[in-house]
Homo-oligomer: A and B are copies of this chain.
């Protein structure tokens, strides 16, 4: 070829579209936890949560094909697919969450959730952590402090320090850390009220995935919930990453943290890669939102999307993948802890179920983030056939979040490869 794939990509998609890894992977096939590149090389996918029940899961593929060849329209006609799915979906929640609004992306779901909060409270002030990501629409992009919008943030958006169990706010870990977090939220609520926006919502990922998935005890958020309720605001739990059983111990992230949000948003893994997302909320909230904003989304909740989502949920439940996440995740954490005994760079091992990783430091005492090193390790893993990535406030946390069909044998491969890559990569 005279023009490389990367050159063609720059020409057709623009010159500054990001890729993973120093040497991007050109994928052509996927199955279960495996991916293959154009040269026939096989990779263990230890990163992608979207193919929740495995790449090209045959039951999901069949559901998509069957429905796509039967009917695909929109929700202004009646169709049982969306009703069957929403009934099954809300059945995985507590009784408070009895309705759902379907959309196509997690960004759309969060964009809607912010307006639901506005409809409920009549206020517009929103609080998020200073290292989160809730999506890419104009409105939710405002919540990404790591990615500031030109022209600055809306005055109605406020940030609180992202929780960090390895370096807790005020130096104290556990529930004290949670009380310190609540104080920060209280401060920002007062600031939003002072500015005249009032306080509408605190939006957070209940696993604080992008923040580096800190290790937080149940009850950690209770003081914050109290502060939010007292101020008349609502809590939006963005379950796009931790949801659908991934955390092993619970089906939803907010259950693990032990609180009940007011609005829940879900996305990525929901239909195994088919563009489906949703907002789950009490019926009264749904009513207020539609009454204030109306809402119609042509593609959302179409019969094919619902068939894909239903098949995915059925596989999660029938194949007991939450339990698999718990068992395999515990095994993985144990393996990582054993690695930590041999590799000084591993400062902390964290995770729950099939969302786990290690925080890399240049020095365990000072806990100085090994940011550049972490990037080297992620690239080294890719070169040795294991796909993972890194995130966190200092971008020094290796993030592993594989399809839910991950096995202990897959974990062995990750641990062995990581052992080797850490050993062969000198720490700065």
Interface residues in chain A, defined as those with a beta carbon under 8 Å from any beta carbon in chain B: 5-6, 8-9, 11-20, 24-30, 35, 48, 50-51, 55-56, 58, 60-61, 64-65, 68-80, 82-83, 86-87, 90, 98-101, 103-108, 111, 114-115, 118-119, 122, 124, 136-139, 141, 147, 149-151, 267-268, 272-275, 283, 286-287, 289-300, 302, 304-305
Are A25 and B77 in contact, with the CB atoms below 8 A? yes
Are B76 and A20 in contact, with the CB atoms below 8 A? yes
Counting every copy of the chain, the complex holds 2
Are A293 and B150 in contact, with the CB atoms below 8 A? yes
Closest to A4 in B: B78
Are B287 and A299 in contact, with the CB atoms below 8 A? no
Query: How close is A427's CB to chain B, nearest CB, in angstroms?
Result: 27
Are B273 and A302 in contact, with the CB atoms below 8 A? yes
Are B100 and A12 in contact, with the CB atoms below 8 A? yes
Residue of B150, B289, B297 touching A105 (CB-CB under 8 A): B297
Query: How close is A139's CB to chain B, nearest CB, in angstroms?
Result: 4
Q: Point out the residues of chain B lying under 8 angstroms from A8, CB to CB.
A: 83
Residue of B56, B69, B79 touching A70 (CB-CB under 8 A): B56
A295 and B149 CA atoms in complex are apart in Å by 11
Query: How close is A124's CB to chain B, nearest CB, in angstroms?
Result: 7
Q: Point out the residues of chain B lying under 8 angstroms from A151, CB to CB.
A: 118, 124
The verdict on A26 contacting B150 (CB below 8 Å), with A50-B73, A69-B58, A137-B108 known, is: no
Query: How close is A8's CB to chain B, nearest CB, in angstroms?
Result: 5
Closest to A56 in B: B69
Query: How close is A102's CB to chain B, nearest CB, in angstroms?
Result: 8
A6 and B76 CA atoms in complex are apart in Å by 11
The verdict on A275 contacting B290 (CB below 8 Å), with A70-B56, A114-B138, A138-B137 known, is: no
Query: How close is A89's CB to chain B, nearest CB, in angstroms?
Result: 9
Query: How close is A136's CB to chain B, nearest CB, in angstroms?
Result: 6
Are A299 and B275 in contact, with the CB atoms below 8 A? yes
A15 and B82 CA atoms in complex are apart in Å by 15
Max chain B Cβ within 10 angstroms of own Cβ: one of A13, A291, A296: A13
